[in-house]
Structure 1
Amino acid sequence: MIRKLTDAARRDWLRLARTENVGPVTFAQLIDRYGEASLALAALPDLARRGGRVSPLGVPPADEVLRELDAGHALGARLIVACEPDFPAALAALDPPPPVIWALGDAALLGRSIVAIVGARVASAGGQRFARGLALDLGAAGHVVVSGMARGVDGAAHEGSLATGTIAVLGGGIDDVYPREHRGLYERIVAEGCVVSENAPGRTATAKDFPRRNRVISGLSRAVVVVEAELRSGSLITARLAAEQGREVLAVPGSPLDPRARGTNDLIRQGAALCEGAEDVLRALEGVGLREPERPFAPAPASDADVDAVRERVAALLSPTPVSRDELVRAAGAPTAVVLAALTELALAGRAELLSGGLVAAL
């Protein structure tokens, strides 16, 4: 539901988004269940206790949220929340979208047609030249280029699209410049493009932040182009996420003698479109719009007694290997609303992890 929040409601929304064990999926389920972030916040202690948590849930105090807002505003950044009209439509189409993003620079770029260019950090000179030229050509054709501001292909893609529109999605806060040698590039992107992050200003990225960053990169995009990538590469994660989100995926072919071509060649083998230049990307984008996610019918709220009866059964069915929530519902033999409510309580208690793509795993 698109709506404009009051300042107090925005603070509650951010506070819920920053609560321990509340990722995008849990956040969306809490908002679906309670309607307002303030009501979800009030329910959190009991939900976590019911899920089996003994220690208090880490809910940030109101003054901590105010400090985050002050820090972002001091940098000149904007907080954009998922339910408001100016939230990027491409991200809003995700199921679920990130609850909040910070944007520093020209946030209007987030509403334009966006193509991601990603690839190896230790990229070849030829790969960097290709990424820079592709970004330049896509910009000339009216598209904004998004990438992750990493070394190699990412940096080259930003350099090629600075004049026409570039977006850098960071794993840490919007002021977390990594690598350090990209300080100058970062400052140019802030001045001429846009920097985006899900995390609070001042936060340093950790390993677990990069998959979420990659999801935002693909989520903002109509298409993702992988220039160079080894078989175990974060760029391939971005490509997989893009495919799950209904985006176009393209890959630049390379020599079988170069390990950096193995990932891209494998993507082509699996059905990704071959990319030899901007013409291939533009052709892939013809007639392609954003696919709205298929959202299931919202069932009636589950009663506490019904959830109590199945919670431990649901917990016993979980394993570290992710399984779809639909499969879990079938295995539990309980109504969908009851199983989802139980999963939310288990997630708040730190016993389950609700993942994008409708998956859940034990913690």
Structure 2
Amino acid sequence: MDVRLERLSKSFGTNLVLKSLDLTFPERKFVTLLGPSGCGKTTLLRLIAGLERASEGQIFFGERRVDHLTPGDRNIAMVFQSYALYPTMDVAANIGYGLKVRGIPRPERTEKVGVVARVLEIAHLLARKPRALSGGQRQRVALGRAMARKPDIFLMDEPLSNLDAKLRATMRGELKRFHLDLETTSIYVTHDQLEAMTMSDLVAVMDQGIVQQYATPEEVYDRPANLFVAGFIGSPPMNFAEVELATEADAPVLRLAGRTIPAPAQFDLTAAPNRLVLGIRPQDVRIAAAGDPRAIPGTVWMTELIGSERLIEVEIAPKLRITAEVKSEIRAELNAPAAVAFDAAKLHLFDPQTGRALPRRA
């Protein structure tokens, strides 16, 4: 079933953590709440779970209002960052605990635990205690406990943050598969954009208690709604530079670091202010020869090898640097002349006063 929030707010004393959210998590979709620490994403998850009470607003599971119900009456399952396993119980008992408290007979519990354990490939661990398990195995047990219950809503609060980088990469695929097997609505909290972009059907990017953008991972990356989303999504981060909007030969142009570049045709510039913020992702920046008339000249400020790619940072004006992500075989010497170029179709433009992206043409 879907989850619907209507004018949901949460305050702790005078601190307003969530600000009148209206949001719908569609049925059977994997939705991620993404944002920096303190943006309100974990508080929102706890409100949905019933671990916190809203200051204002309503929460619906399908057509049923649930914000007045206890967590036990909401038929949700939640996996925490710490996994929250019972240390004195073996794996089988941990997985089957939720079934036991619901009065499911032992034979049925045993059957369900066995099915879940086989799906998660932990059937050989059923007799072990949590202290004898690795981090990845403990996570599978926590997932198994949720899976055995067949909840209406599955909630996850940064469940991968305690794992090493290699295991996190493996478990991203496991979690997506788990969501598909469970056939329920999943809501996932993380500050890691890679997790959000690789696993999610929809991403809610949050900052200061407000959802800044709610869209597919592709749209959040390709068409960020504002400067915050543009800077938060993408690695390395998007380049930003102030530009002047002008007209030359009856055509709009952008003036940057003493050079003129064509204004991107995808934006409606009729009501745009004269000063704008230009954004360009490092993957869309090309390193050109220093004398290239179509490029913006500068000096190599920094180079960094990142495996098969190389980051080259070029200073095109005092304290204004543009980073390019290029193939590792492209080399550049520090303080050497260089130039950057980019396709106008790849540019992003923002209003510096509101931070919002300029409207695009239909």
The bucket for the TM-score relative to the shorter chain is under 0.3
* Higher helix fraction (1 or 2): 1
TM-score by length of 1: 0.23
* Higher strand fraction (1 or 2): 2
TM-score by length of 2: 0.23
Rg bigger for which structure?
Answer: 2
